[in-house]
Structures are given as C-alpha cells and as structure tokens.
Amino acid sequence: MKVACPSPGATAALGAALGAACRGGEVLRVSGDLGAGKTVLAKGVAGGLGIDPHGVTSPTFTLLTIHRGRLPFYHVDLYRVSGPDEIAHLELFDEVEGPGVTFVEWPERAESRLPPGGLTVRIEDGGDGGREVTLSADADHAHLLAAAERFSKAA
C-alpha cells in the first residue's frame, strides 16, 4: 500500500499510528535515500510507543539505541555496516530481546541477519517536499498495514 505524507509532520504522524498499533515483536525494515525521512518515521513510532520523540536521533555511530516506553524500541541504523558478516561479528541483534519493536534503517545492508518477517517500508520523494511511503507486510504484521490504512483515510 502507498501513503502520501505531504510533510515531515505527516511522516511522523504515520509513524505514531504504526507505533500505537504495535503489540510487541514487530520488525520494521525501513529504507530510503539519505534524508528521505527514516528517522522522522522512527520518531513517530517512538511517540506511538509512549517515548519522547525528541530523544530519538539517528543512531548511525552507535548502530543500536534502545528506548524504553510501552514496549522497548530498538532503533537500528545499518548505514555504516559493510554487510551481513559484520552484523554477525558485532552480535548486534543479541541485544534485541523480548516483545519489543525493532526499527531497522538501511535493512538491505544485512538482510540475511535480520529477524524474519516484518513490515517493509520504503520512503521516497513525493514531490513538493512530501514523501510517498510504500508499505508491505507478512501476515504477522498485517495489523500495521491496517493502522497505516486508517491513518491514510483520516489524513
């Protein structure tokens, strides 16, 4: 499904809708060019989990930042990772435990090492400063597509 987000605020609001719908155990694989709005979406998801979005920044140099809210929020940024073998060496996903929400920026850099399934999100330039967000999900994450659909109809 596609959702038009005409502003960064709309991208964050979509994220908040996704975060509010999370039950625990979700994996969000978020891709897009530099500056596309991946971290803006992450801030929204965090807000939907009851986490102060101002505390969410791109974890590029730390790879993984853990935020505590209604559910743990694992914000992963793989931009600087060279590939799946580096993920295995770093044991990055060993710190992801329990029924939290894992948000992975640049998932294509280590797809074979990511937890299975999930919501796949692609953020692209939608023109006039807006974004076009494409979402797809496996059966275990269909509730997130439903949340995105409700958001899209209300927007």
- For residue 37, the domain's CATH number is 3.40.50.300
Quote the crossing angle between the two packed helices 142-154 and 8-21, to the nearest 10°: 140
Q: What's the pTM?
A: 0.90
User: Residue 78's CB: how many other CB atoms inside 10 A?
Assistant: 26
Residue-wise pLDDT for 27-40, tens only, equals: 999 999 998 999 99
Domain for residue 153, yes or no? Answer: no
**Domains in the chain: how many in total?**
1
Contact criterion met (CB below 8 Å) for 148 and 14:
yes
What range defines the domain where residue 71 resides? 24-126
Residue-wise pLDDT for 80-90, tens only, equals: 776 666 655 55
Using pLDDT thresholds of 50, 70 and 90, give the confidence band for residue 112: confident
Contact criterion met (CB below 8 Å) for 126 and 5:
yes
- Nearest Cα residue to 74 out of 25, 122, 113, 109: 25
